Chain A
Amino acid sequence: MDDDSELLKLGRSDPQAFRALVERQSQYLYGVAHALTSNDADAEDLVQETFLGAVKGTFRGESSVRTWLVRILVNRAAMLRRTRKRKPESQFDDAKTQATDGSASGSSDARMDLSAMLAHLSFEHRQVIVLRELEGLSYEEMARALGVPRGTVESRLHRAREELRRRFTGYKP
């Protein structure tokens, strides 16, 4: 059992373990959450829900703790989006302009940040890009994580990449 899974187990009742887990994983998760939502407040809520849900859940060791956390986060993001379904899709994308200029959340790097890169994709396309390109999940794993057929994963990934290539091929930071 690695350190993260131990911290995850202890983090339910031990504040020190929870803090240590947050220290190790929160930056990464927040980056992913922000890339999915393009929104500081939603990203923070998602990270919070992910950690609190994770310490109550059961980690079976089928992947790394980080990948498991990202899966929880991606699902929570989908739930959050569903609860806002009545509002226009741009609800998640209100910060598009903020993200597109590469300055989201105090990122001072001159390169375009992840949120900005994904800002023009639909939510479903962002999901598959995060799970495939950042987490390296297989098509089958993505299908299970997202609850959609494998063929849907393949076509979403293909379209998402097409859109990214169209926008960023030849882009030099």
Chain B
Amino acid sequence: MSCDRSAQVEAWYDGELPESDRAAVEQHLRECADCTQLVAELRQMSQMLVAAPRAQMGADAKRRLERSWWANRDRGVLRMAEWLTAAAAAVLVGALMFWSEGERPSQPPTQVATWQSDAVMPPTETRDEVASNVVTLAEWMANDLSVEGSR
């Protein structure tokens, strides 16, 4: 095959040539014996390939194919079951946690022992005494300041 338009001719044979180029190639085919021969050979090859007997799949192979479908389906069902089990377990755990939070009784205020409060605060009567002393001190300071001011 010596013609340099063979690639174009092959594209034409495959129906892949743009419409604008087709007429020129068809004209070339009328003039070029090599390309005419090429098309004839391509046509013969295509016919041979399509008509060639094919290897046959035996009945055993078909049975194996069917068994693989069942095995595949079983694996799918198992995967689904595993997923559903995991999802159910997660929901159950979540529900249990939620329920236990809701049912927990509210804590009563802790009773503080008398000795503890006494340890940090003086007894009530002592507190009253301290308060009256503070008032006395404040009155004394006020009087003192007013005397200072009148001087």
Binding site for B on A (CB under 8 A): 13, 15, 18-19, 22, 26-28, 30-32, 34-35, 40, 43-44, 47-48, 51-52, 55, 104-107, 109, 111-115, 117, 129, 132-134, 138-139, 154, 157-158, 161, 164-165, 168-169, 171, 173
Q: How far is the CB of B63 from chain A (nearest CB, A)?
A: 10
Given A19-B66, A22-B66, residue A30 in contact with residue B11 (CB < 8 A): no
Q: How far is the CB of A162 from chain B (nearest CB, A)?
A: 8
Find B65's partner among A47, A104, A161 (CB 8 Å cutoff).
A47
User: Is there an interface contact between B52 and A30, defined as CB atoms closer than 8 Å?
Assistant: no
User: Is there an interface contact between A164 and B45, defined as CB atoms closer than 8 Å?
Assistant: yes
Q: Which of B32-46 contact A (CB under 8 A)?
A: 41-42, 44-46
Contact with A along B40-66 (1 / 0, CB 8 A): 011011101111111111100110111
Q: Which residue of B lies closest to A26 (CB)?
A: B57
User: Is there an interface contact between B55 and A51, defined as CB atoms closer than 8 Å?
Assistant: no
B-chain residues with CB within 8 Å of residue A173 when the two chains form the complex: 48
Given A26-B57, A34-B54, A161-B10, residue A171 in contact with residue B48 (CB < 8 A): yes
A-chain residues with CB within 8 Å of residue B16 when the two chains form the complex: 138-139
User: Is there an interface contact between A165 and B45, defined as CB atoms closer than 8 Å?
Assistant: yes
Interface of chain B: mostly helix, strand, loop or mixed: helix
Binding site for A on B (CB under 8 A): 7, 10-11, 14-16, 41-42, 44-46, 48-58, 61-62, 64-66, 68-70, 72-73
User: Is there an interface contact between A117 and B41, defined as CB atoms closer than 8 Å?
Assistant: no
